[in-house]
Amino acid sequence: MPKEAERGDWRADLRASIRDLPTLCRRLDLDPTQIAAGKRAAASFALCAPHAWMELIEPGNPDDPLLRQILPTTEETRIQATFGPDPVGDRHAEQTPGLLCKYPGRALLLVTGACALHCRYCFRRCFPFATSLNHRDRALSAIRAIAARPDINEVILSGGDPLLLNDHSLDWLLRALDGIGHLKRIRLHSRIPIALPSRVDDNLRALLTGGRLPRVLVVQTNHPHELGEAASAALTRLRADGITLLNQSVLLHGVNASPEILQTLSERLFALGVLPYYLHLLDRVTGSAHFAVPLATCVKVVEQLRARLPGYLMPRVVAEQPGASSKTPLEHVQRQQQERPDQGSRSRARNRLANRRARV
Which residues are known binding-site members for [4Fe-4S] cluster?
Answer: 115, 119, 122
In the list ligand SF4, ligand PLP, none, the entry touching 216 (Cβ below 5 to 8 angstroms by class) is none
208-247: which residues touch ligand PLP (CB under 6 A)? none
**Of the candidates 67, 156, 204, 261, which one interacts with ligand PLP according to CB under 6 A?**
156
Residues 45, 47, 50, 56: is their CA dihedral positive or negative? positive
191 touches which of ligand PLP, ligand SF4, none (CB within 5 to 8 A by kind)?
Answer: ligand SF4
102 binds ligand PLP (CB under 6 A): yes
Does position 100 interact with ligand PLP (CB under 6 A)? The reply is yes
236-247 core/surface letters (b: 16 or more CB in 10 A; e: else): bbbeebebbbbb
Q: Report how far apart, in Å, the C-alpha atoms of 337 and of each of 130, 330, 345, 347 are.
A: 36, 11, 11, 12
Interaction site with ligand SF4 (CB under 6 A): 115, 117-119, 122, 124, 159-161, 191, 220
* Pairing status of strand 316-319 against strand 328-329: antiparallel
Name the one range near ligand PLP by CB under 6 A: 6-14, 33-41, 97-105, 290-298: 97-105
327 forms part of the interface with ligand PLP (CB under 6 A)? yes
| Distance in Å, CB of 87 to ligand SF4, minimum | 13
Position among 7, 85, 103, 353 found at the interface with ligand PLP (CB under 6 A):
103
Select the binding partner of residue 138 from ligand SF4, ligand PLP, none (C-beta < 5 to 8 A, by kind).
Answer: none
Task: List, in sequence order, every residue forming a beta bridge with 109; answer none if it has no partner.
Answer: 99, 157
Task: Select the span of 99-107, 304-312, 332-340, 344-352 touching ligand PLP (CB under 6 A).
Answer: 99-107
Per CB under 6 A, which of residues 158..187 are in contact with ligand PLP? Answer: none
What span, in angstroms and rounded, lies between the C-alpha atoms of 50 and 46?
A: 13
The entry of ligand PLP, ligand SF4, none near residue 118 (CB within 5 to 8 angstroms by kind) is ligand SF4
Residue 320's nearest CA partner among 81, 127, 103, 133 is: 103
Between 156 and 293, CB nearer to ligand PLP: 156
Residues 72-91 that bind ligand PLP (CB under 6 A): none
Chain residues in the site for ligand PLP (CB under 6 A) = 93, 100, 102-103, 106, 108, 156, 326-327
